[in-house]
Amino acid sequence: MSEFVQSFMQNLKAKNPSQPEFIQAVQEVIESLAPVIERHPEYIECKLLERIVIPERTMIFRVPWLDDAGKVQVNTGYRVEFNSAIGPFKGGLRFHPTVNLGILKFLGFEQVFKNSLTTLPMGGGKGGSDFDPKGKSDNEVMKFCQSFMNELFRYIGPDTDVPAGDIGVGGREIGFLFGQYKKLANEFTGVLTGKGLAWGGSLIRPEATGYGTTYFAREMLKTRGESLKGKVATVSGSGNVAQYAVQKITELGGKVVTLSDSDGSIYDSKGIDAEKLAFVMNLKNVKRGRIKEYADKYSCEFLAGKRPWGVKCDVAFPCATQNEVDVNDANALVKNGCKCVSEGANMPSTPEAVDVFLKAKILFGPGKAANAGGVATSGLEMSQNSLRLSWTREEVDQRLDGIMCAIHTQCANAMDEYKCKDNYVMAANIAGFKKIADAMMAQGLV
């Protein structure tokens, strides 16, 4: 079987040059699926794996806009519609200067399996642009979003493709995007998720990814008779996912001692309590400042240019970006006694780091399981939009918690069935894949 994986990957690399993140994401999934393929030779005959790694459709388009000085700016926009076997394409939009086709293909590919794990009927997709929102005025962000939607609106729709937020795309951007979609399509529909509460958004959607990642850690710890109570946690990032992870970890009795952004990390040994978190939320969501200002305000350590993984902790939550935990970080975490890693970000650990966690037999929740709460709650927003109803905070939170528990159970069942105890990576890939594979087989060659 490893011969199959090897030649499959060789072919994939040849066909997708300069897309290392996409290759990395596929390699992990294909390696995990070896025992499934052995039981299902029909998948090979139908070239299911060869098909699953090619997006159903990819759009790349020009996004011209005028900045505040009246000068012309231009960016590249993308939407990768990866797989619609189990529902409309669904997945976020990322605005960050590092965005390119390979990054969005990795994210779209991961999204297919993640969305399958949520138990909800959603296919997978991802999009975005190399536009950098940092340092831009609200007016410039609006101009960009409107121009981006002028092209994107042809491809999306509430039953076709439903984008949402990701890095650099939060409530403000979703508002501008939704307004322009509505104008162009002349329709008020649930075409985007992460909307404001007054115009079709769902309670708990902003909180959902951070909360879900924490619920998943709680479920993993439970299998070893442990909980988050009294645990020291490191969190990276300081955006949407990180902020609500801090809130929920603290609520469940943990103490969060770090946050970060691309300039470095803060280390607050006293813990980031509710008041300090409110400061972070205002700093990041309103003032759009840098995390160093936290260290200045609360007189704690700022680790310039550093990630937080050298800080001693019991539980770690990478919530910033891909490949932010390398093999040295993983070794440091394990050496310092970290028992559990729950990935709020997408693919934050390098393959070598993942190997370290698996060999050390610590609890390691891969992003496609551990951060699925965000898209799951987007699915709940879609349901509420279709029903033209809004559920209460408690109702959405309960459903989110239930979905995270269901994802954990699917992983545990796959571990039993495929004899891969403690390996949430293999288990999540297998459980996510099976539903997609069955749907693709049933729908024929499309």
CA–CA separation, 208 and 214 (whole Å) = 10
With CB under 6 A as the contact rule, which of the stretches 51-59, 135-143, 315-323, 332-340 interacts with ligand NDP? Answer: 315-323
CA–CA separation, 103 and 22 (whole Å) = 6
Name, in order, each residue with C-beta under 8 angstroms of 73's C-beta and a sequence gap of 6 or more.
64, 65, 66, 67, 144
Q: Does 374 bind ligand 2IT (CB under 6 A)?
A: yes
Radius of gyration of the chain (CA): 21
Whether 126 is catalytic is yes
Bridge partners of residue 316, in order along the sequence: 234, 341
Closest contact distance (angstroms) between CB of 358 and ligand 2IT is: 23
With CB under 6 A as the contact rule, which of the stretches 66-74, 85-93, 182-190, 221-229 interacts with ligand 2IT? Answer: 85-93
Angle at the Cα of 11 from the Cα atoms of 10 and 14, rounded to 5 degrees: 90
Q: Which does residue 125 bind out of ligand 2IT, ligand NDP, none, counting CB within 5 to 8 angstroms by kind?
A: none
Q: How many CB atoms lie within 10 A of CB 338?
A: 25
Among 29, 37, 164, 341, binds ligand 2IT (CB under 6 A): 164
Closest listed residue to residue 144, CA positions, set 79, 95, 209, 182: 95
Subset of 164-183 contacting ligand NDP (CB under 6 A): 165-168, 170
Question: Using CB under 6 A as the criterion, what x/- string covers residues 126-165 for binding ligand NDP?
Answer: ---------------------------------------x
CA–CA separation, 149 and 144 (whole Å) = 9
Closest contact distance (angstroms) between CB of 164 and ligand 2IT is: 3
Question: Using CB under 6 A as the criterion, what x/- string covers residues 326-345 for binding ligand NDP?
Answer: ------------------xx
Subset of 175-194 contacting ligand 2IT (CB under 6 A): 193
Positive/negative CA dihedral, 320, 321, 326, 330: positive
Closest listed residue to residue 281, CA positions, set 343, 206, 190: 206
Closest contact distance (angstroms) between CB of 125 and ligand NDP is: 13
Subset of 85-124 contacting ligand NDP (CB under 6 A): none
Residue 320, burial from CB neighbour count under 10 angstroms (0-12, 13-18, 19+): buried
Among 126, 195, 231, 284, the one annotated catalytic: 126
With CB under 6 A as the contact rule, which of the stretches 177-185, 240-248, 295-303, 396-404 interacts with ligand NDP? Answer: 240-248
> How many alpha carbons lie under 13 Å from residue 121 in its C-beta half-sphere?
9
Name, in order, each residue with C-beta under 8 angstroms of 17's C-beta and a sequence gap of 6 or more.
none
Q: Which does residue 55 bind out of ligand NDP, ligand 2IT, none, counting CB within 5 to 8 angstroms by kind?
A: none
Among 115, 118, 240, 429, binds ligand NDP (CB under 6 A): 240
Subset of 206-235 contacting ligand 2IT (CB under 6 A): none
Positive/negative CA dihedral, 387, 122, 98, 259: positive
Looking at the annotation, which residues are catalytic? 126
Residues that bind ligand 2IT (CB under 6 A): 90-92, 111, 114, 164, 166, 193, 346, 374-375, 378
Question: What is the binding site for ligand NDP (CB under 6 A)?
Answer: 165-168, 170, 209, 237-242, 261-262, 319-321, 344-346, 371, 374
